[in-house]
Amino acid sequence: MPKRLLIVDDEMDLLVLLRKVLAKKCDSEVAIAQSGKEALEKIDSWHPDVIVTDIVMPDMDGLQLLSKVYALDSSISIVIMTGYGTIEMAVTALKNGAYDFLEKPFDNSAISQIILRAFERTQLLRENIHLHKELQKSDRPTDFIGHSVPLQRAIDLLTRLGQSDATVLIRGESGTGKEVAARTIHQMSDRAERKMITVNCPALPEHILESELFGYAKGAFTGADQDKDGLFLEASGSTILLDEIADIPVSLQTKLLRVLQEKEIQPLGQTSTVKVDVRVLASTNQDLEAKMAKGEFREDLFYRLNVMTVTMPSLNDIQEDIPLLALHFFNIYVKKYQRTGMELSPEALKCLVRREWKGNVRELQNRINRAVLLTPASVVTPNDLLSPEELEKDGSANKAGAEIPVCVHRLPYNEAKEEVISSFTSTYLERALTMSDGNVSAAARASGLGRQSLQRLMQRFHVQSQSFRKK
């Protein structure tokens, strides 16, 4: 759908000029209105993305129009046009939600750049609103968050596997949600009423892992002063997940093979076997074929486990799901750390989508956790998402006279340049307000800017002075 721009002014000559210039420069549909009343009628029927309005008009001034538009659709970006003597009104408009203001007379290139950024802001805000609505849906069949094709294919396969009793091998990179996949299979199965047992195979030494899995009889070893049921027996009638099964020692792989073949276990120190009714799921992030070639993983065990295989997509494979996942984790940590009123900026969401995620969903979750806990302001910006290592690297770059956010390197040059400028401005504002303890006048003086100019920048980059005042 083409971008839509509505221009409101009581001077027809200016409307005609702006419509001609902006339709071409902003590649958008442009409508005009000569009054606030006419503008409201067009908004109701035409649904613009951005509105450029004069601040002084006879029937309804720009501030009144701003208030009514904001009540109708707060995602519409509004740019105020102001002439001599109305700067104070424009500053008031910024405080009341306007995106930016332009002083007459203005340069055609300058106004087109502001309008293009306003279009981008509206798009990001509407995407944010859509994401929040998606998160509020309560009919999700699994714990997975996302709608991408690779993820939906995996969920569909997990759902169908849940209806069988087959052994399943879940493969995928670290942090891709293999345990969530196992829970999905279990929840979709006839065994869902009983708790699924999860065993973290690398976490336990070999002799302890064996006794934990299979149990032991009294006197089986020093300290075994009573019989103990193993986790396989505890999981009887339910499901057991052997997490990171590639790390199980070869000596235990033989005993595990017997469980899969005969459905029975032999506790340590006991000569008889015990039948178990347990469904086995296994997960790994390692190359089992390579381990078999080295003799580190039994081939017969591999084929017993690999009855059915699910490979979980990496986060880089499902980039379109990143905003939904990020907001999901953001809401969790805002509640956990009691950061009521905190927001994840649209620019931060864009930055998350552009990144490369070697640690997958787990890395994304950790980034959001850190940002919510440590960000001093009420809005999380792209810089707040940097790791300690990236912050140190970024600091070294600053000493060399550059400040380039990690997320811009995949962008075309012009977009990357715009992102760097935005990142610099946001960081500069935060540091200036930190040094002045949130005093806008003092920050403006130290920055060599007028107070109104600084407020204008603060509005554009969602920086609030209250966040920097000492409590």
Dihedral angle at the C-alpha atoms of 257, 263, 269, 272, nearest 10 degrees?
A: -130
**Distance, CA of 271 to CA of 252 (rounded, Å):** 17
pLDDT at 60 > cutoff 70: yes
Q: What pLDDT does 140 receive?
A: 55
Query: Could you tell me the fold of the domain covering 317-468?
Result: Helicase, Ruva Protein; domain 3 (1.10.8)
Do 416 and 409 touch, CB atoms closer than 8 A? yes
Q: Indicate the burial class of 169 (C-beta count within 10 angstroms; 0-12, 13-18, 19 or more).
A: buried
- Is 159's pLDDT higher than 60? yes
C-alpha 80/C-alpha 345 separation (Å) is 22
361 in Cβ contact with 352 (< 8 Å): no
Asked whether residue 264 carries a pLDDT value surpassing 50, the answer given is yes
Question: pLDDT band for position 332 (50/70/90)?
Answer: very high
Of the listed ranges 184-188, 243-247, 250-254, 352-356, the one predicted with least confidence: 352-356
Q: What is the pLDDT of residue 300?
A: 93
Averaged confidence pLDDT in the chain? 85
Cβ atoms of residues 321 and 145 within 8 Å: yes
Mode of pairing for the β-strands spanning 274-275 and 264-265: antiparallel
Q: Kindly report, residue by residue over 1-28, the tens digit of the pLDDT.
A: 789 999 999 999 989 989 988 888 888 9
Domain boundaries, the chain: 4-136, 149-312, 317-468
What does the pLDDT look like over 61-97, one tens digit per residue? 888 999 999 888 988 999 988 876 666 777 788 888 8
| pLDDT band for position 397 (cuts 50, 70, 90) | very low
Confidence (pTM): 0.66
> 4-136 and 317-468 share one CATH topology?
no
Architecture of the structural domain at 149-312: 3-Layer(aba) Sandwich (3.40)
H helical segments located in 28-100 = 36-46, 62-72, 87-95
* pLDDT value at residue 135: 65
Structure tokens at 152: 């939906």
Say how many CA atoms lie within 13 Å of 137 toward its Cβ.
14
User: What pLDDT is attached to residue 408?
Assistant: 60
Query: Per-residue pLDDT averaged across 102-123, rounded?
Result: 83
Highest mean pLDDT among 100-104, 188-192, 417-421: 188-192
CATH of domain 4-136: 3.40.50.2300
pLDDT at 399: 44
pLDDT over threshold 60, residue 471: no
